[in-house]
Structures are given as C-alpha cells and as structure tokens.
Amino acid sequence: MSFALVFIFSFTFSTSASVFAGENFGVSTEPPPGEVITPFGLDPPKKSNVVNLTKEKLTFKGIANNSILYTNKNFKGKSAATYNITNYKSNKLTIKVYRNGGLHVAKQTIVISGNSTGGGGINNLDKNELYYLSFAPPSDFSGSVY
C-alpha cells in the first residue's frame, strides 16, 4: 500500500465518532431496538421532530467517548422547563441548551457532577420556539426534560 492510502485509512478511523448506538436513546446514531425513527447522527435535530412539553416529556440516554451527542428531538411548549439528568461517569457532564434555527450559541449551560443526578430549570424560553440539548464527551447519561 502506498503511504497516501495508509494515511487516508488511518485518518478515517481516527476521526470516526465514538458512539455506542446500542446504549443510546433519543441521542443515538441508530434508532433504539423496536422503534422506527430517523437517525440524526451527531447533528442537531431536524425542525420536524418535536416534543410538545405540555403533552409529553422528552426522554433520552446516551454514551459517547469523543463525540458531542444531541437530542434527536426538539422540545417546545413551555416558557420554563424542568430537567432531571443522571451522569453515570466520574467526570462532570456539560449540557448546553440551544434554540433550533438560531445562531449556534448556547442559551444555557448545565453541568452535572460525576456520578450524580442533577435537576433544575431551563428558563426564559419562548414556548413557540424549538430547543434541543447537546452533551459534551465523554458522556454516559440518561434523563428527561418536562
């Protein structure tokens, strides 16, 4: 093999996402077993995928070593939402709240200590706008927004 091919092969595998799809729900690159959803990969959710928090809660879980994970669905319907998230890793988990369609600037940052559960509020939301969460690596978490 030429040096160029070896380099390309090595680069491809070294930059691939480290996501364990079988352990992820609501943030995965693959749909959970038994569910038919569109896999969104490691990108924010499409505007057509929405949970109205006045009718149901947004639930999720995921594991990633090197990749930022995003919720597969947006949430809307409330001017203030509540979150409850469990961090199963010993390092802190950083979560950011974004408005879908806006500049990619976090509206709020949430930090959950290692091996703990955190809860609180996501405030100053426009109930007609769409919002989603991102989870910084390394991560192993589950939770909900309601």
User: Are the CB atoms for 74 and 51 separated by under 8 Å?
Assistant: yes
User: Are the CB atoms for 19 and 66 separated by under 8 Å?
Assistant: no
What's the confidence (pLDDT) of residue 24?
A: 59
What's the confidence (pLDDT) of residue 51?
A: 97
| Phi, psi of 11, deg, nearest 5 | -65, -40
Domains (ranges, CATH) in the chain? Answer: 3-145 (2.60.120.380)
What's the confidence (pLDDT) of residue 103?
A: 77
104 burial type by CB count under 10 A (0-12 exposed, 13-18 middle, 19+ buried): exposed
Q: What is the pLDDT of residues 98-134, one digit of tens each?
A: 999 877 789 999 999 999 999 999 999 999 999 999 9
Assessment of whether the complete model's pTM goes beyond 0.75: no
Q: What is the pLDDT of residues 38-69, one digit of tens each?
A: 333 467 898 999 999 999 999 999 999 988 99
Name beta bridge partners: 50: 74
User: Are the CB atoms for 89 and 50 separated by under 8 Å?
Assistant: no
What's the confidence (pLDDT) of residue 102?
A: 72
